[in-house]
A = this chain, B = another copy of it.
Amino acid sequence: MQLNVGCQILFESHDQTPVILMLRPRSGSGQWIMREEYQLSPHVPVVEYADGYGNLCQRITIPQGAFQVRTSAVVDAPDKIDVEPNAHFVPVPELPDSVLQFILPSRYCEADRLGDLALEIAGNANPGYEQVEAIRQWIQQNIEYAYGTSNASTSAVETADRRVGVCRDFTHLGIALCRSLNIPTRMVVGYLYELKPMDLHAWFEAYVGDRWYTFDATQEQPRGNRVTIAYGRDAADVALVTQFAAMDLVEMQVWVTPAG
């Protein structure tokens, strides 16, 4: 389905603040960017580069005072995500070199500490897709979705303990549990059509069978119409805004509507 997606963020900065933004979706094998717009008010010089995952990053210095970022795109995205219960577990020796990094623990996904919980949840499932799906369902049913219960330092171990969080926490927990079973798993940030309430969103992808599959522990059913902005190991890699000084995010609007 063709989607209008976008966000508008208003910052208030007390001083010059270096920032890395990750707000420009790229065309890939799963989505096609038909139109795109990126506005900074006031306009400041930008350097854009691709990070190690291929995400486009915008380096700017936000001046003192009010500063607005507005990005929007018209994107052709798949209506459905692929669901493939038969996708088997890939033994580590057969994994492509490039996905090995996604089995390792990372800042917010302490896979090395969650092996017991993963076995408890998915120990009886068929190795591969069904294990990931068991983990996804367990999170969806056992973690309470609530704003203001976690922060930028909250990690998977803490979420497993407190059983509450937001999409970012659900995702970190799903990733950590899958990795503890040696399933490569990565974080995705982007837009989801009809997300309630509307916001920027996070979910995860697991490598089973011979490719990446999409999983979203915040949703009851598999849902398509997703627009990916960035991939990475966890939120340390794919923060939409990484700021290197104090600065307030005053207001943010996000929209995803049918195009045309």
Give chain A's interface residues, CB within 8 Å of chain B: 18, 20, 24, 26-29, 32-39, 43, 45-52, 54, 56-59, 61, 76, 91-93, 97, 100-101, 103-107, 109-110, 112-113, 152-153, 182, 236-237, 242, 244
Contacts A34-B38, A104-B237; is A54 near B50 (CB within 8 Å)?
A: yes
| B51–A101 touching, CB < 8 Å | yes
Closest to A32 in B: B46
Q: How far is the CB of A83 from chain B (nearest CB, A)?
A: 21
| A48–B34 touching, CB < 8 Å | no
CA distance A105 to B45 in the complex (A): 27
| A106–B107 touching, CB < 8 Å | yes
Which 5 pairs show the lowest CB-CB distances between chains A and B? A27-B48, A18-B92, A49-B97, A92-B244, A35-B37
Closest to A157 in B: B153
| A91–B18 touching, CB < 8 Å | yes
Closest to A92 in B: B18
| A153–B112 touching, CB < 8 Å | yes
Contacts A61-B93, A107-B105; is A48 near B28 (CB within 8 Å)?
A: yes
